[in-house]
A and B are shown apart, each in its own frame.
Chain A
Amino acid sequence: MTVGKRQKMELLRGTLDLLILRTLELKPLHGIAIADRIRQVTKGTFDVQAGSLFPALHRLEQEGGIQGEWTTTDENRRIKSYTLTSEGRKQLSAEKRVWERIVVAVGQVLESN
Protein backbone atom coordinates (compact mmCIF):
# COMPACT_ATOMS: atom_id res chain seq x y z
CA MET A 1 0.00 0.00 0.00
CA THR A 2 2.77 2.38 -0.80
CA VAL A 3 2.66 5.08 -3.35
CA GLY A 4 5.21 4.70 -6.07
CA LYS A 5 7.83 7.34 -6.66
CA ARG A 6 6.85 9.31 -9.71
CA GLN A 7 8.49 12.19 -11.35
CA LYS A 8 7.48 15.30 -9.47
CA MET A 9 6.14 18.15 -11.56
CA GLU A 10 6.05 21.90 -11.26
CA LEU A 11 2.55 23.19 -10.70
CA LEU A 12 1.22 25.60 -13.29
CA ARG A 13 0.75 29.08 -11.97
CA GLY A 14 -2.71 29.39 -10.40
CA THR A 15 -3.28 25.63 -10.34
CA LEU A 16 -2.41 25.32 -6.67
CA ASP A 17 -5.43 27.42 -5.68
CA LEU A 18 -7.65 25.09 -7.68
CA LEU A 19 -6.13 22.00 -6.03
CA ILE A 20 -6.49 23.47 -2.54
CA LEU A 21 -10.11 24.52 -3.11
CA ARG A 22 -10.98 21.09 -4.53
CA THR A 23 -9.25 19.34 -1.61
CA LEU A 24 -11.18 21.40 0.91
CA GLU A 25 -14.45 20.78 -0.90
CA LEU A 26 -14.53 17.31 0.63
CA LYS A 27 -13.54 18.10 4.19
CA PRO A 28 -11.92 20.82 6.33
CA LEU A 29 -8.20 20.09 6.68
CA HIS A 30 -5.10 21.72 8.12
CA GLY A 31 -1.96 22.69 6.18
CA ILE A 32 0.06 19.49 6.17
CA ALA A 33 -3.08 17.37 5.67
CA ILE A 34 -3.92 19.40 2.55
CA ALA A 35 -0.43 18.74 1.16
CA ASP A 36 -0.76 15.03 2.08
CA ARG A 37 -4.11 14.78 0.35
CA ILE A 38 -2.85 16.42 -2.85
CA ARG A 39 0.17 14.10 -2.82
CA GLN A 40 -2.09 11.08 -2.23
CA VAL A 41 -4.61 11.92 -4.95
CA THR A 42 -1.95 12.77 -7.53
CA LYS A 43 -0.02 9.65 -6.48
CA GLY A 44 3.00 11.73 -5.56
CA THR A 45 3.13 13.77 -8.76
CA PHE A 46 2.48 17.03 -6.92
CA ASP A 47 4.34 17.48 -3.67
CA VAL A 48 3.27 20.87 -2.36
CA GLN A 49 5.92 22.43 -0.16
CA ALA A 50 5.31 24.78 2.77
CA GLY A 51 6.78 27.72 0.83
CA SER A 52 3.97 27.47 -1.74
CA LEU A 53 1.23 26.07 0.46
CA PHE A 54 1.02 28.60 3.29
CA PRO A 55 1.13 31.77 1.16
CA ALA A 56 -1.60 30.24 -1.03
CA LEU A 57 -3.73 29.34 2.01
CA HIS A 58 -3.40 32.81 3.47
CA ARG A 59 -4.13 34.45 0.12
CA LEU A 60 -7.25 32.31 -0.34
CA GLU A 61 -8.33 33.11 3.21
CA GLN A 62 -7.94 36.84 2.59
CA GLU A 63 -9.94 36.55 -0.60
CA GLY A 64 -12.70 34.81 1.37
CA GLY A 65 -12.52 31.50 -0.49
CA ILE A 66 -11.55 29.56 2.61
CA GLN A 67 -11.88 30.18 6.30
CA GLY A 68 -9.28 29.23 8.89
CA GLU A 69 -10.28 28.07 12.33
CA TRP A 70 -8.02 27.18 15.23
CA THR A 71 -8.61 23.82 16.87
CA THR A 72 -6.71 21.65 19.34
CA THR A 73 -5.68 18.11 18.44
CA ASP A 74 -5.82 15.08 20.73
CA GLU A 75 -2.12 15.66 21.38
CA ASN A 76 -3.00 19.14 22.61
CA ARG A 77 -1.43 20.79 19.61
CA ARG A 78 -2.98 23.97 18.22
CA ILE A 79 -3.65 23.64 14.50
CA LYS A 80 -5.39 25.85 11.98
CA SER A 81 -7.99 23.99 9.98
CA TYR A 82 -9.34 25.43 6.73
CA THR A 83 -12.91 25.15 5.44
CA LEU A 84 -14.23 26.03 2.00
CA THR A 85 -16.67 28.95 2.12
CA SER A 86 -19.63 29.50 -0.20
CA GLU A 87 -17.52 32.11 -1.99
CA GLY A 88 -14.81 29.47 -2.33
CA ARG A 89 -17.28 27.05 -3.91
CA LYS A 90 -18.13 29.66 -6.52
CA GLN A 91 -14.43 30.31 -7.10
CA LEU A 92 -13.83 26.56 -7.44
CA SER A 93 -16.55 26.22 -10.08
CA ALA A 94 -15.15 29.19 -11.98
CA GLU A 95 -11.57 27.90 -11.80
CA LYS A 96 -12.68 24.42 -12.89
CA ARG A 97 -14.25 25.93 -16.00
CA VAL A 98 -11.07 27.91 -16.73
CA TRP A 99 -9.00 24.76 -16.25
CA GLU A 100 -11.22 22.77 -18.63
CA ARG A 101 -10.76 25.47 -21.25
CA ILE A 102 -6.98 25.39 -20.76
CA VAL A 103 -6.92 21.59 -21.13
CA VAL A 104 -8.96 21.76 -24.34
CA ALA A 105 -6.89 24.61 -25.74
CA VAL A 106 -3.54 22.97 -24.97
CA GLY A 107 -4.86 19.69 -26.40
CA GLN A 108 -5.84 21.45 -29.61
CA VAL A 109 -2.35 22.93 -29.97
CA LEU A 110 -0.65 19.60 -29.29
CA GLU A 111 -2.83 17.69 -31.70
CA SER A 112 -2.60 20.26 -34.50
CA ASN A 113 -0.31 19.48 -37.42
Chain B
Amino acid sequence: MPLLTKVANWKSIFRRRRIEKDLNDELSAYVDELTERKIEAGLDANIARQAALQEIGSLEAIKDQIRRQGIRPSRVRVAGAIACAITLSFAVGVAVSSDVLRWIDPLIISALPLRAPQEPAQSPARVPISYPEFGPDNPPPWVGIWHFQIPYSDPGTLRETLTIRAVPNGIQLTRDALDLNRKRIYEDYTAAYVGKPIAFGNPIRATIKIQSRGGDVHQLIVVDRNTLMFARKCGNPECNRWRTTDTYFKDNTNGWR
Protein backbone atom coordinates (compact mmCIF):
# COMPACT_ATOMS: atom_id res chain seq x y z
CA MET B 1 0.00 0.00 0.00
CA PRO B 2 1.50 3.35 -0.95
CA LEU B 3 2.60 5.52 1.96
CA LEU B 4 0.22 8.33 1.06
CA THR B 5 -2.77 5.94 1.13
CA LYS B 6 -1.66 4.57 4.51
CA VAL B 7 -1.40 8.10 5.92
CA ALA B 8 -4.81 8.96 4.49
CA ASN B 9 -6.33 5.84 6.09
CA TRP B 10 -4.82 6.64 9.48
CA LYS B 11 -6.03 10.22 9.23
CA SER B 12 -9.49 8.96 8.38
CA ILE B 13 -9.52 6.59 11.39
CA PHE B 14 -8.40 9.34 13.79
CA ARG B 15 -10.91 11.74 12.32
CA ARG B 16 -13.75 9.25 12.70
CA ARG B 17 -12.73 8.58 16.32
CA ARG B 18 -12.69 12.30 17.06
CA ILE B 19 -16.14 12.77 15.49
CA GLU B 20 -17.49 9.84 17.54
CA LYS B 21 -16.01 11.27 20.74
CA ASP B 22 -17.42 14.72 20.02
CA LEU B 23 -20.84 13.24 19.31
CA ASN B 24 -20.78 11.26 22.57
CA ASP B 25 -19.68 14.33 24.53
CA GLU B 26 -22.35 16.52 22.97
CA LEU B 27 -25.17 14.09 23.70
CA SER B 28 -23.83 13.37 27.21
CA ALA B 29 -23.82 17.11 27.96
CA TYR B 30 -27.46 17.25 26.81
CA VAL B 31 -28.41 14.31 29.05
CA ASP B 32 -26.57 15.87 32.02
CA GLU B 33 -28.31 19.20 31.53
CA LEU B 34 -31.74 17.59 31.25
CA THR B 35 -31.00 15.47 34.34
CA GLU B 36 -30.02 18.56 36.34
CA ARG B 37 -33.24 20.27 35.39
CA LYS B 38 -35.22 17.31 36.65
CA ILE B 39 -33.23 17.23 39.91
CA GLU B 40 -34.00 20.91 40.33
CA ALA B 41 -37.65 20.14 39.77
CA GLY B 42 -37.46 17.85 42.79
CA LEU B 43 -36.64 14.39 41.40
CA ASP B 44 -34.11 12.07 42.95
CA ALA B 45 -30.82 11.97 40.99
CA ASN B 46 -31.22 8.41 39.70
CA ILE B 47 -34.86 8.85 38.76
CA ALA B 48 -34.02 12.19 37.13
CA ARG B 49 -31.40 10.55 34.93
CA GLN B 50 -33.75 7.76 33.94
CA ALA B 51 -36.47 10.29 33.15
CA ALA B 52 -34.03 12.35 31.06
CA LEU B 53 -32.91 9.30 29.09
CA GLN B 54 -36.52 8.25 28.58
CA GLU B 55 -37.40 11.73 27.31
CA ILE B 56 -34.52 11.78 24.85
CA GLY B 57 -35.21 8.30 23.56
CA SER B 58 -32.55 6.09 22.04
CA LEU B 59 -29.18 7.86 22.00
CA GLU B 60 -27.86 5.22 19.61
CA ALA B 61 -30.69 5.99 17.18
CA ILE B 62 -29.76 9.69 17.23
CA LYS B 63 -26.09 8.85 16.69
CA ASP B 64 -26.99 6.48 13.84
CA GLN B 65 -29.05 9.15 12.16
CA ILE B 66 -26.15 11.62 12.39
CA ARG B 67 -23.69 8.99 11.16
CA ARG B 68 -25.93 8.17 8.20
CA GLN B 69 -25.82 11.82 7.17
CA GLY B 70 -22.06 11.26 6.78
CA ILE B 71 -19.50 13.71 5.52
CA ARG B 72 -19.83 14.84 1.95
CA PRO B 73 -16.70 14.00 -0.07
CA SER B 74 -16.94 17.25 -1.98
CA ARG B 75 -16.73 19.22 1.23
CA VAL B 76 -13.67 17.22 2.29
CA ARG B 77 -11.98 18.04 -0.99
CA VAL B 78 -12.92 21.69 -0.62
CA ALA B 79 -11.71 21.64 2.98
CA GLY B 80 -8.36 20.19 1.79
CA ALA B 81 -7.98 22.90 -0.83
CA ILE B 82 -8.84 25.59 1.70
CA ALA B 83 -6.32 24.14 4.17
CA CYS B 84 -3.57 24.27 1.51
CA ALA B 85 -4.44 27.86 0.65
CA ILE B 86 -4.44 28.85 4.33
CA THR B 87 -1.08 27.16 4.96
CA LEU B 88 0.44 28.91 1.95
CA SER B 89 -1.02 32.26 3.04
CA PHE B 90 0.39 31.76 6.52
CA ALA B 91 3.83 30.91 5.20
CA VAL B 92 3.93 33.98 2.97
CA GLY B 93 2.31 36.14 5.69
CA VAL B 94 4.81 35.13 8.37
CA ALA B 95 7.75 35.77 6.07
CA VAL B 96 6.47 39.18 5.00
CA SER B 97 5.28 40.35 8.42
CA SER B 98 8.51 39.34 10.21
CA ASP B 99 10.41 41.44 7.71
CA VAL B 100 8.05 44.39 8.08
CA LEU B 101 7.95 44.10 11.88
CA ARG B 102 11.73 44.21 12.04
CA TRP B 103 11.45 47.78 10.73
CA ILE B 104 8.35 48.84 12.64
CA ASP B 105 9.19 47.27 16.02
CA PRO B 106 11.55 49.95 17.33
CA LEU B 107 9.06 52.67 16.33
CA ILE B 108 5.73 51.37 17.67
CA ILE B 109 5.61 47.96 19.28
CA SER B 110 8.38 48.30 21.87
CA ALA B 111 6.32 50.79 23.88
CA LEU B 112 3.44 48.48 24.82
CA PRO B 113 1.00 50.16 27.24
CA LEU B 114 1.10 47.33 29.77
CA ARG B 115 1.67 47.59 33.50
CA ALA B 116 4.03 44.64 33.50
CA PRO B 117 4.90 43.68 29.94
CA GLN B 118 7.45 41.14 31.16
CA GLU B 119 4.70 39.05 32.81
CA PRO B 120 2.73 36.61 30.67
CA ALA B 121 -0.72 37.89 29.72
CA GLN B 122 -3.69 36.15 31.33
CA SER B 123 -6.34 34.79 29.07
CA PRO B 124 -9.49 36.92 29.53
CA ALA B 125 -11.59 33.74 29.72
CA ARG B 126 -9.72 32.66 32.86
CA VAL B 127 -9.99 35.96 34.68
CA PRO B 128 -12.89 35.75 37.16
CA ILE B 129 -15.76 38.12 36.49
CA SER B 130 -15.77 40.91 39.01
CA TYR B 131 -17.63 44.20 39.18
CA PRO B 132 -17.47 47.01 41.68
CA GLU B 133 -20.38 47.54 44.05
CA PHE B 134 -22.54 50.36 42.81
CA GLY B 135 -24.38 52.66 45.22
CA PRO B 136 -25.53 56.27 45.65
CA ASP B 137 -21.92 57.42 46.00
CA ASN B 138 -20.73 55.22 43.22
CA PRO B 139 -23.42 55.14 40.55
CA PRO B 140 -22.98 52.80 37.63
CA PRO B 141 -21.63 54.64 34.61
CA TRP B 142 -24.61 53.62 32.52
CA VAL B 143 -27.26 55.43 34.59
CA GLY B 144 -29.75 57.14 32.33
CA ILE B 145 -28.83 55.03 29.34
CA TRP B 146 -30.87 51.98 30.09
CA HIS B 147 -34.55 51.83 29.46
CA PHE B 148 -36.10 48.60 28.39
CA GLN B 149 -39.70 47.89 27.80
CA ILE B 150 -40.65 44.30 27.20
CA PRO B 151 -44.21 43.48 26.21
CA TYR B 152 -44.82 40.16 27.85
CA SER B 153 -47.83 37.93 27.48
CA ASP B 154 -48.81 35.61 30.21
CA PRO B 155 -51.79 33.24 30.34
CA GLY B 156 -52.79 34.76 33.71
CA THR B 157 -52.83 38.31 32.39
CA LEU B 158 -54.16 39.98 29.32
CA ARG B 159 -50.99 41.87 28.71
CA GLU B 160 -47.96 42.55 30.78
CA THR B 161 -45.25 45.14 30.34
CA LEU B 162 -41.93 45.04 32.09
CA THR B 163 -40.06 48.31 32.26
CA ILE B 164 -36.48 48.44 33.40
CA ARG B 165 -34.88 51.76 34.21
CA ALA B 166 -31.48 52.70 35.43
CA VAL B 167 -31.79 54.84 38.56
CA PRO B 168 -29.01 56.52 40.55
CA ASN B 169 -28.73 53.72 43.08
CA GLY B 170 -29.28 50.78 40.84
CA ILE B 171 -31.95 49.43 38.56
CA GLN B 172 -35.68 49.62 38.86
CA LEU B 173 -38.19 47.21 37.43
CA THR B 174 -41.90 47.82 37.13
CA ARG B 175 -44.42 45.23 36.08
CA ASP B 176 -47.68 46.51 34.76
CA ALA B 177 -50.38 44.04 33.86
CA LEU B 178 -54.06 43.30 33.79
CA ASP B 179 -55.44 40.10 35.22
CA LEU B 180 -58.30 38.16 33.67
CA ASN B 181 -60.84 40.30 35.55
CA ARG B 182 -59.19 43.37 33.99
CA LYS B 183 -57.86 44.36 37.39
CA ARG B 184 -54.61 46.24 37.10
CA ILE B 185 -51.53 44.70 38.67
CA TYR B 186 -48.74 47.17 39.23
CA GLU B 187 -45.60 46.08 40.98
CA ASP B 188 -42.43 47.98 41.60
CA TYR B 189 -39.13 46.33 42.32
CA THR B 190 -35.91 48.09 43.07
CA ALA B 191 -32.66 46.32 42.58
CA ALA B 192 -31.80 44.11 45.51
CA TYR B 193 -28.24 44.29 44.41
CA VAL B 194 -26.43 45.49 41.37
CA GLY B 195 -23.13 44.49 39.97
CA LYS B 196 -22.63 41.27 41.91
CA PRO B 197 -20.49 38.79 40.03
CA ILE B 198 -22.74 35.95 39.01
CA ALA B 199 -21.32 33.91 36.21
CA PHE B 200 -23.51 32.57 33.45
CA GLY B 201 -20.59 32.74 31.09
CA ASN B 202 -21.45 36.36 30.31
CA PRO B 203 -20.24 39.68 31.63
CA ILE B 204 -23.24 40.55 33.76
CA ARG B 205 -23.94 44.22 34.42
CA ALA B 206 -26.73 44.04 36.93
CA THR B 207 -29.16 41.67 38.54
CA ILE B 208 -32.55 42.25 40.11
CA LYS B 209 -34.19 39.75 42.43
CA ILE B 210 -37.92 39.50 42.03
CA GLN B 211 -40.04 37.69 44.59
CA SER B 212 -43.33 37.06 42.89
CA ARG B 213 -46.61 36.82 44.76
CA GLY B 214 -46.67 33.10 44.18
CA GLY B 215 -43.43 32.79 46.15
CA ASP B 216 -41.17 31.94 43.24
CA VAL B 217 -37.89 33.78 43.16
CA HIS B 218 -36.87 35.11 39.79
CA GLN B 219 -33.92 37.16 38.83
CA LEU B 220 -33.59 39.62 36.01
CA ILE B 221 -30.10 39.77 34.63
CA VAL B 222 -28.96 42.66 32.54
CA VAL B 223 -26.19 41.10 30.52
CA ASP B 224 -25.64 44.11 28.31
CA ARG B 225 -27.64 46.75 26.54
CA ASN B 226 -28.83 44.18 24.01
CA THR B 227 -29.33 41.10 26.15
CA LEU B 228 -31.59 40.44 29.13
CA MET B 229 -32.12 37.17 30.88
CA PHE B 230 -34.54 35.82 33.41
CA ALA B 231 -33.39 33.25 35.88
CA ARG B 232 -35.28 31.15 38.38
CA LYS B 233 -34.06 29.71 41.63
CA CYS B 234 -34.50 25.99 41.53
CA GLY B 235 -37.28 24.50 43.63
CA ASN B 236 -35.21 21.72 45.20
CA PRO B 237 -33.83 22.85 48.61
CA GLU B 238 -30.64 20.85 48.03
CA CYS B 239 -29.92 22.87 44.95
CA ASN B 240 -28.73 26.43 45.28
CA ARG B 241 -28.33 27.35 41.65
CA TRP B 242 -29.94 29.88 39.40
CA ARG B 243 -31.16 28.62 36.08
CA THR B 244 -31.81 30.92 33.14
CA THR B 245 -35.30 30.56 31.76
CA ASP B 246 -35.88 33.22 29.13
CA THR B 247 -33.48 35.31 27.14
CA TYR B 248 -34.39 38.49 25.31
CA PHE B 249 -32.32 40.04 22.57
CA LYS B 250 -32.75 43.52 21.19
CA ASP B 251 -33.41 43.40 17.47
CA ASN B 252 -32.67 45.93 14.75
CA THR B 253 -35.95 47.76 15.36
CA ASN B 254 -35.15 48.26 19.09
CA GLY B 255 -37.80 45.72 19.97
CA TRP B 256 -37.14 42.77 22.26
CA ARG B 257 -37.42 39.20 21.13
Contact = CB atoms under 8 A, between A and B. Distances in A.
The bracket for how many chain B residues form the interface is 35 or more
Interface string A44-66: 00000111001100110010100
Nearest to B216: A1
B212 A41 contact: no
Given A49-B56, A50-B27, A37 B247 contact: yes
A31 B200 CA distance: 16
Interface in B199-232: 199-201, 212, 216, 218, 227, 230
A73 interface: yes
Contacts, number: 77
Nearest to B29: A79
Given A32-B34, A50-B27, A80-B26, A62 B72 contact: yes
B37 to A, nearest CB: 9
Interface string A1-13: 1101000000000
Interface in B119-138: none
B66 A58 contact: yes
Interface stretch (B7-15, B43-51, B57-65, B141-149): B57-65
B177 to A, nearest CB: 11
A88 B173 CA distance: 37
Contacts of B227: 27
B220 to A, nearest CB: 10
Contact of B249 (A26, A30, A70): A26
Contact of A54 (B26, B154, B199): B26
Nearest to A41: B257
Contact of A31 (B22, B26, B257): B26
B255 to A, nearest CB: 12
B32 A1 contact: no
Contacts of A4: 154-155
Nearest to B218: A1
A111 interface: no
A1 B242 CA distance: 15
B69 A55 contact: yes
B69 A62 contact: yes
B30 interface: yes
A37 B245 CA distance: 9
A51 B65 CA distance: 9
A74 B199 contact: yes
B75 interface: yes
B154 A2 contact: yes
Given A55-B65, A58-B66, A50 B30 contact: yes
Given A26-B249, A51-B61, A73-B201, A32 B69 contact: no
Nearest to B34: A32
30 contacts: A1-B216, A1-B230, A1-B246, A2-B154, A2-B155, A4-B155, A26-B249, A27-B249, A31-B26, A31-B30, A32-B30, A32-B33, A32-B34, A37-B247, A40-B245, A49-B55, A49-B57, A50-B30, A51-B56, A51-B61, A54-B62, A55-B65, A58-B23, A62-B72, A73-B201, A74-B199, A77-B29, A78-B29, A79-B26, A79-B29
Interface of A: 1-2, 4, 26-27, 30-32, 37, 40-41, 43, 49-51, 54-55, 58-59, 62, 64, 70, 73-74, 77-80
